[in-house]
Structure formats: structure tokens, C-alpha cells
Amino acid sequence: MAKLYFSYAAMNAGKSTLLLQAAYNYRERGMRPLLYTSALYAENGIGLISSRIGISEPAALYSSEDDLFQSVRDELDAGKVDCVFVDEAQFLTPDQVWQLARVSDRLKIPVMCFGLRTDFLGKLFPGSSELLAVADTLREIRTICECGAKATMVVRQNADGRVLTDGEQVSIEKSVYISLCRKHWEEAVGRWPVKGPSI
């Protein structure tokens, strides 16, 4: 049975690497995967899913106006589609999450979404929120904080290394993000100034 999957993590956990590996496995077995990434990551109008370990692959671009159900259905006219992969899924709109759910429910094609759960202020992205609500299978991909604990949050820093506590939710400059555990994120953003002895 086809399902809608959401694999989520903080920055630098290897989400894109896992996506590219899974797509490779489909191709190696003679199957046809479709790859999508956010138009926010277009390079000269071209979509590319890139991993920090140096692998990359072309991908179709989606923006908030696109109907992804129709896009996949159009691809079916060109031949069988065995799986749909979506990188940067946090940038999906809630409607697009439902379009992808329809791909799995009505077209019987598995859809695997990979993305961030929360932004640098600890708030859910709209696409991630909807995926957490409606995906059939949720999977957390783990990375670690500087202290060795599981990192679940990200901070955004400016060029001087100062942690930012306001600004637009979307900034695609990856080098300004650091993954932290909840405790160190809270300390970094000053959400809860600790008074008295530490525990």
C-alpha cells in the first residue's frame, strides 16, 4: 500500500543524503523515481538536491502555486512512476501536502518527504505542521548537538556569530544555521534565563 512519509530533522542530519540514496536504490532496480525540491533552492532556474557529503541530483522545482498532484499525474503520461521524493518539504503549503497525500491514496504511489520540523525560533513550518498531522509514517532523523545530546532545534547566526531571535522564517543560507539540543537552543536564544544553581 502506498503511503505518505515524512522524515524530519534539524539541519545537517543527512536528510538529503538519505533521499538521494533511496532514489538511487529505486533506479538501481529499474524503477522510476520523481524528485522535487523547493524553488527557493533553484540555481539559475535549475533544481538540484545536494548533500553535504558531495552528492547531488537534478530535481523538478516546486513553488507554492504548483499543484503537485497534477504534476505527478502529468509525469504518469510519460511512463510509470514508482516513488515521489520531496526535499525541503517544510516549504510545502498545507494544500500541497494534501496533494501529495492524494498521490499516495489515489495514484497508489509512495511519497517520501524530507525536511525540517521547526524554524530557528522553534516554530513549526506550515508544510511540516501539515505533514506531522496527515503523514502515514513519521521518522525522525537524528543529529547531535555540540554537547553530544540529540539535536532537535536550530539557531540562526549572523556573520559575526550572534544568534538571531527575530527575522523572516525562511532563509536558505545554510551556513548560518547550527543544530542544538533543546537545552542549548533555549540558552542560545535567551528564551528562559536560568536563575539560581544549575541542575
Residues 128/89, Cβ–Cβ less than 8 Å: yes
114 contacts: CB under 8 Å, gap ≥ 6: 6, 7, 8, 15, 16, 18, 19, 85, 86, 87, 88, 89, 141
**Locate cell 547566526: which residue?**
157
* Residue tagged active-site, from 28, 65, 88, 130: 88
Q: Which three cell numbers stand for residue 13?
A: 542530519
- Grid coordinates representing 93 are 503549503
The answer to whether 16 and 113 have CB atoms below 8 angstroms apart is no
Query: Which residues are CB-neighbours of 10 under 8 A, at least 6 positions away?
Result: 116, 117, 143, 151, 152, 153, 154, 179, 180
Q: What is the arrangement of strands in the sheet containing 177-180, beginning at the earlier edge strand? A: 163-164, 153-157, 177-180
Residue 173 annotated in active site:
no
Per the structure block, which three cell numbers stand in for 102? 492524494
Return the active site residues: 88
